[in-house]
């Protein structure tokens, strides 16, 4: 395991451990950066949109003789925001994906470090229509 900055080490040693997941999807021309908080966060020049309770990452399915697979879901997507997903969906297969753990300072809640937890490529990209609410769900699998 790599060395953590002192602020990240202190955060992990504290009683409360403020953490968030960060996801990077490197779509050609329009990379997508998300985090599991409700806030927009910036790290190393990248701006990560907060998806809060709207997003989900399913547990890793890791079995012998197969690649570990992860499923992402972003629900509550307004119809007017689906254009990007529809345009990028055709280019999704093989796109590089990273999952990172964000470690926050427990006193200031400033982001102290991002630590890569998983690296893979997008496989299947599906959109489920929004029905009466007008919102949709975007589901992606990666391995």
- The answer to whether 23 touches 72, Cβ cutoff 8 Å, is yes
- Measured distance CA(43)–CA(38) in Å, rounded: 16
Beta-bridge mates of residue 113: 103
Per-residue model confidence (pLDDT) at position 42: 94
Alpha helix stretches (DSSP H) within the chain: 6-13, 82-89
Give the three-state DSSP class for 5. coil
- Measured distance CA(21)–CA(95) in Å, rounded: 19
- Measured distance CA(31)–CA(115) in Å, rounded: 19
- Measured distance CA(96)–CA(109) in Å, rounded: 29
Per-residue model confidence (pLDDT) at position 143: 81
Tens-level pLDDT at each residue, the chain (143 residues): 456 666 666 655 666 667 888 888 888 877 888 888 888 999 999 999 887 766 777 776 666 766 677 887 777 666 665 666 666 666 678 889 888 989 888 788 888 889 898 888 888 777 777 555 566 777 878 88
The residue assigned the tokens 């990077």 is: 24
Per-residue model confidence (pLDDT) at position 1: 42
């Amino acid at each position: 395991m790599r060395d953590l900055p002192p602020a990240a080490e202190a955060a992990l040693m504290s009683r409360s451990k403020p953490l968030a997941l960060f996801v990077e999807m490197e779509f050609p021309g329009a990379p997508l950066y998300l985090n599991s908080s409700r806030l927009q966060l910036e790290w190393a020049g990248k701006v990560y949109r907060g998806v809060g309770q709207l997003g989900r990452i399913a547990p890793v399915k890791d079995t012998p003789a197969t690649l570990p697979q992860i499923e992402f879901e972003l629900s509550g997507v307004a119809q007017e925001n689906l254009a990007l997903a529809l345009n990028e969906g055709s280019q999704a297969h093989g796109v590089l994906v990273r999952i990172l753990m964000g470690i926050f300072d427990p006193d200031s809640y400033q982001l102290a470090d991002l630590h890569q937890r998983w690296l893979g490529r997008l496989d299947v990209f599906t959109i489920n229509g929004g029905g009466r609410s007008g919102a949709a769900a975007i589901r992606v699998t990666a391995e």
